[in-house]
Structure 1
Amino acid sequence: MTAASVGIPTEPIGSIPRPPELLAAVAARAAGRIGDEELAASQDRAVRDTIRRLEELGSPVVTDGEQSKPSFVTYPLAGLDHLAPDGVVIPFADGHQRQLPRLTAGPLRYAVHADRYLRAACLHATVPVKQAVIAPSALSLLYPADGIDGYPRQAFLDDLTAEAEADIRGCLDAGAHSVQLDFTEARLALKLDPSGGLLEQFITLNNRVLERFSAAEQARIGVHTCPGGDQDSTHSLDVDYAGLLPALLRLKAGNFYVQLASEPEPDKVLGILADHLPGQARVFVGVTDPIDPRVETPAQVRDRVLAAARHLPADRLGTCDDCGFSPFADDTSTSRDTAFAKIRARIEGTALAACELVG
């Protein structure tokens, strides 16, 4: 019996650490020692291996592990002109930083749409495939504060909305089981602007895109929130979820993937979720912490699910990992084997909890 068969679906969030062969191929391509075809072959082998291992663990839904993405946020920009490297800086608690590029001219057009990754994954999968896409709110940070001559911000937002819709719609049309908007900048927005103004701008922009989809399509779209996870650190874990979740749950999506395993007060968070959960939306609660080197046991996962079920109806509950395990391709802080061990614990622990909840 699987968790999904008794009403508790479980899904990966996205990224899996890349195998050493792929990391070596990426470095070799950057140095000009191999060509695009050799890199693509290495990426395909990594995707095939990722899906095979997820299916062997019994994952009812799989992803490609983002093996071919440079990062979860910058994939649409690969190869674009009109970008400068000195964009918004994202500081992490341990002192390291990530920096986004800055748009220098318009119009904005995605160089890569996520259905490319989905179609490649479907060639290897025998179970449903989920696809992660970047939320438009994250890419709104590309536009510089002092503007761009001849390309006003409103024109940029119009273009971004159209491109984000096409990114999601392409995945739905290609048969994605679900499409997940990575909205990790949501919690960061409250750190950058405690008044909530920036978060409200992000919510409005994301809903501008989501409202272009039918109710049936929205049911296949989810939103992921977490405090960022990169090189065993976070950018906004110190921000109280109480300021974020009521606004987040106003998004027009059918699923919400919420980091919870690493939260210091999970019951408080679950209470907020229960109070604000809209309509028939489902909450996938994080039950494994990618940053913690210790591998959770199935019993620990089971107990986390049962704790969530004390607040949320079992038929509106699912489980996931807190975050991706390697959202940036160069993040090797978690090993590939550790990631799959945690995923195994999530799948087995969710099934244990599901059996208890159905008596």
Structure 2
Amino acid sequence: MSAEEYLLSLPTEPIGSIPRPDYLLRGRGDLAAGTIDQAEFDALADRAVRETVERLAAIGSPVVTDGEQTKSSFMTYPLDGVDGLAPDGVVIPFADGHVRMLPRLTTGPFRYGVHAVRYLQAARKVASVPVKQSLIAPSALSLLYPADGIDGYPREQFLADLADEAERDIRQCLDAGADSVQLDFTEGRLSLKLDPSGGVLRDFVALNNTVLDRFTPEERARIGVHTSPGGDQDSTHSLDVDYAELLPQLFSLRAGRFYLQLASEPDPDRVLAAVAEASSPDQRVFVGVVDPIDPRVETAEEVRDRVLRAAQYISPDRLGTCDDCGFAPYADDVSTSRDTAFAKIEARVSGTQKAAAELGC
């Protein structure tokens, strides 16, 4: 199926991370302990990527990812190998009481240590269908800069350097054949919890648009934004923030695709009505139809019904489906089994097909 034919149907896509196999988790620990070398770990990583891509294709996913098998986390992969970082940065609290902490930048200039094109290239080597690539939004990495500044490296210069690196991250993937590029923007909803005035959110959107504006309309049609209240160790960081406060700013991002957590929302009709009002006709909306945090595997019929409900608010010709969030955004998250994740993805694919048949897509 060509890209044009795919987008004329009812598209369905994974968000990103899939739980790593046990042998890869052990290998990461062995590498840190020095009991295996980098080449041995790389062989395990190649195996995990191949198995992930092949299994996604086998259950009918029309678009695949590498499952973020070799990322340290969805957010911090650009920092691997970067010097000038201290461990005591911004703290992200989750509802169950656990936290994640970002590093703090101590010197400039800021440069990525790893660009995501390496993950894309590894997946494309073994993929038989189109591959999308998930990237971290520059707004998330802007949190690295300390509130009290860095001598000789003003915030304005940091943001300019960050925008250049984010552009490079996106452009390399587009140029290397990504079917689409997805910016992970979970900090959007979280920002409203940390700053209810919306000032931080507006700054985030402005920074992301600074990068998006560097791409042509045709390129932006292949760039998407994912938003959710986070998902780590079966907990969220901002599910209590009203979606309606986020959506007007979210859809002002100059991207062509939007991937929205929805399956776990207590009032999806209210959210869908707000999406219909806030989004524009040239923006395709992928709605979450399976919840990675819920241990129960959804049925294809449940997915179908969720799609049909969304189609009451969003025209089917600009509708798609996705998972609410990644299944293991951090490499050490083992709260969801690999088999459960694939079962949920299979239900999403099958249920979307059922809905497409009813909608005549």
Q: SS state of the match for residue 126, structure 2?
A: coil
Show CA shifts across 1:296-345 (max 9, x none): 00000000000000000000000000000000000000000000000000
Distance in structure 2 (CA, Å) of the matches to 1:272 and 1:333:
32
Moved more, 37-46 or 228-237: 37-46
Partner of 1:50: 52
Give, as a single letter, the amino acid of the residue that structure 1 aligns with 2:210. Answer: R
Partner of 1:252: 254
For the pair 1:297 / 2:299, whether they are aligned, the reply is yes
Distance in structure 2 (CA, Å) of the matches to 1:8 and 1:231:
31
Give, as a single letter, the amino acid of the residue that structure 1 aligns with 2:45. Answer: Q
Normalised to the residue count of structure 1, the TM-score between the two structures is 0.98
Structure 2 counterparts to residues 131-280 of structure 1, below 5 A: 131-280=133-282
1:71 aligned residue (65, 70, 73): 73
Show CA shifts across 1:109-156 (max 9, x none): 001000010011100001000000000000000000000010000000
Show CA shifts across 1:42-90 (max 9, x none): 1110000000100000100000000010000000000111000000000
Give, as a single letter, the amino acid of the residue that structure 2 aligns with 1:70. Answer: S
The answer to whether the 8 Å contact 1:6/1:354 transfers is no
Cα-Cα RMSD: 1.2
Q: CA deviation at 1:277?
A: 1.1
Distance in structure 2 (CA, Å) of the matches to 1:101 and 1:171:
26
Unpaired segments of 5 or more residues in structure 2? Answer: none
1:27 aligned residue (29, 38, 43): 29
Give, as a single letter, the amino acid of the residue that structure 2 aligns with 1:331. Answer: D
Q: CA deviation at 1:6?
A: 6.5
The answer to whether the 8 Å contact 2:8/2:317 transfers is no
Partner of 1:102: 104
Q: CA deviation at 1:4?
A: 4.7
Distance in structure 2 (CA, Å) of the matches to 1:46 and 1:278:
39
Q: CA deviation at 1:36?
A: 0.9
Show CA shifts across 1:17-40 (max 9, x none): 000000000000011111111111
Give, as a single letter, the amino acid of the residue that structure 1 aligns with 2:257. Answer: N
The answer to whether the 8 Å contact 1:85/1:101 transfers is yes
Q: SS state of the match for residue 235, structure 2?
A: coil
Q: SS state of the match for residue 98, structure 1?
A: strand
- The list of structure 1 runs, each at least 4 consecutive aligned residues, that deviate by more than 2 angstroms after superposition, is 3-6
Normalised to the residue count of structure 2, the TM-score between the two structures is 0.98
Partner of 2:18: 16
Q: CA deviation at 1:279?
A: 3.7
Show CA shifts across 1:252-306 (max 9, x none): 1000000000000100110011111124110000000000000000000000000
Q: 1:82 to 1:6 in 2, by over 3 A?
A: closer
Distance in structure 1 (CA, Å) of the matches to 2:209 and 2:111:
20
Tell me the matched-pair count. 358
Identity of matched residues, %? 70
Unpaired segments of 5 or more residues in structure 1? Answer: none
Distance in structure 2 (CA, Å) of the matches to 1:115 and 1:5:
23
Q: CA deviation at 1:164?
A: 0.2
The answer to whether the 8 Å contact 2:205/2:249 transfers is yes
The answer to whether the 8 Å contact 1:6/1:358 transfers is no
Distance in structure 1 (CA, Å) of the matches to 2:41 and 2:102:
24
Give, as a single letter, the amino acid of the residue that structure 2 aligns with 1:185. Answer: E
The answer to whether the 8 Å contact 1:250/1:278 transfers is no
